């Protein structure tokens, strides 16, 4: 991962897989399904993710189990 002060912290697919604790194959599945963080497509084989976008995407996926149980009642 590259970091230069306040600029973007770009992550490769490999970096993202490590960050999320997933395999590269899973990351490619996220991309194919459209359920992935925004990314920068430099070429067909060079995709980068900004860590801030990844963190926002993760935050949006948080589930509060107590609220889900209450709404099902």
pLDDT value at 14 more than 80: yes
Which element (helix H / strand E) includes 9? none
Statement: 10-72 belongs to CATH 1.10.10? yes
Mean local confidence (pLDDT), 5-22: 91
Q: Which are the contacts of 56, defined by CB distance < 8 A and separation ≥ 6?
A: 37
Question: 69 falls in which pLDDT band (50, 70, 90)?
Answer: low
Q: Give me the pLDDT at residue 68, please.
A: 61
Nearest to 30 by CA among 69, 57, 6: 57
């Amino acid at each position: 991962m590259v970091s230069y002060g306040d600029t973007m912290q770009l992550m490769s697919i490999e970096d993202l897989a490590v960050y999320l604790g997933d395999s590269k194959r899973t990351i490619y599945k996220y991309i194919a399904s459209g359920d992935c963080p925004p990314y920068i497509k430099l070429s067909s084989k060079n995709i980068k993710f900004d860590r801030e976008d990844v963190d926002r995407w993760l935050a949006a996926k948080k589930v509060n189990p107590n609220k889900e149980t209450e709404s099902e009642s």
